[in-house]
Structure 1
Amino acid sequence: MKFYRVKKEDVDVNLTPLIDVVFLLLIFFMVSTTFTKESRLNLELPEAQGTPPAAEIKVLELTISSGGRYSVGGASLVNDTREMLSKGLLDVAKGDTAQPLQIVADAQAPLQSVITAMDVAGKLGFVQVSFVTMQPGSQSSK
C-alpha cells in the first residue's frame, strides 16, 4: 500500500483588505483636513553693530512686551489702542517730538504691534526713531 503525503500549503495573510482600509483612511483624512496659510512674517531682528553713541541725550523709551503690551517711559498703558499709545507718547514727551524715541521690542512681540508703534510715532512727528537690539552673543535676561 502506497500512502501519499498531503502537500502542505504555505499560509499567507491576505493584505488586500488592509491596504484598502489604509487608503480609505488616507482619503478620509485628506478630505477632512483644512489647510490654512498663516499670514505672518518671519523676521529675525538684526544684531547691533558698532558702538553706542557716547553723548547723554534724554531719550523717550517705548517698550513692547512679548504679548504686544505697550509701556512708555516705564509706565504701562491702560490698553493697546492707537489713541492710548498716541496720548501716552505725547504726555511723556510733553509735546516735544524732536527728542529721540527708542523702541524696545521683545523678540517675541507681534510684528503688528511694532508697526503700529512706528506708525503712531511717525504721525505724531517723531523723526529720530530707533530700535534697541542685543549685542552679538549676549543672552537676554528672562
Structure 2
Amino acid sequence: MKFSRPRVNEIEVNLTPMIDCLLFLLVFLLVSTTFNQHSRINLTLPDAQGVPPASTDDRVEVVVQASGKYMVNGQALAGNDETQLTTAIQQATNARRDMPVIIAADAKAAHQDVVRVMDVAGKLGFMNINISTKVPARGYP
C-alpha cells in the first residue's frame, strides 16, 4: 500500500505590513515632535535708541578691534587667544558673575572674534551679555 506523504508548505512571513506600520509610526513621531533648542548663553541685544545704562561702574567691557585684538576694561591683551581673554575677564570681575558683559566690536571685526568673547563669557557663567551699538544719525544728508 502506498501512502501519500502530506506536503509541507513552506512558511513565509510577509514583512510588508510590518514595514508599513513602522513607517507610519516614524512619520507620526517626526510630525508630532517639537525641536526646542535652548541657547547656552542668554543674549540681551540692545536697542539703538541711545538710552544710557543705569550703572557704568559694575560692568566688564570687552572691545574687539578690527585686527582681532581684545581690550578688557581699557587694558589691551598681549594676544588674541582664549586663555588670555579668560584670564583678563576673571581678573576684571573678581569672581562676580552677576556683572554685565558688554561687547563693543568694530564693524570690520571678524565674526569669530566676537563669538569667542561670547563663548568665554558663557563658559565663565555670565548670563547678562550685551552687544553695544551706536545710535544712528537722526537726519540724512
Q: Same fold (TM over 0.5)?
A: yes
- Name the residue aligned to 1:78: 78
- Name the residue aligned to 1:121: 121
Q: Residue type matched to 1:65 in 2?
A: Q
Matches within 5 A, 1:1-142: 48-49=48-49, 51-137=51-137
Q: Aligned pair count?
A: 93
Higher relative contact order (CA 8 A, sep 6+): 2
Task: Tell me how far 1:97 sits from its aligned partner.
Answer: 1.7
Structure 1: tracts of 5 or more residues without a match: 1-45
TM-score scaled to structure 2, two decimals? 0.60
**Once superposed, what is the RMSD of the aligned Cα atoms?**
2.0
Percent identical: 35
8 Å CA contact retained: 2:50, 2:135:
no
Structure 1 residues 47 and 66: CA distance shift in structure 2, 3 A: farther
User: In structure 2, how many angstroms separate the alpha carbons of the residues matched to 1:96 and 1:63?
Assistant: 20
Match of 2:135, SS state, is coil
Match of 2:133, SS state, is coil
Structure 1 residues 78 and 128: CA distance shift in structure 2, 3 A: same
User: In structure 2, how many angstroms separate the alpha carbons of the residues matched to 1:117 and 1:53?
Assistant: 21
TM-score scaled to structure 1, two decimals? 0.60
Q: Residue type matched to 1:114 in 2?
A: V
Match of 2:117, SS state, is helix
Task: Tell me how far 1:57 sits from its aligned partner.
Answer: 4.8
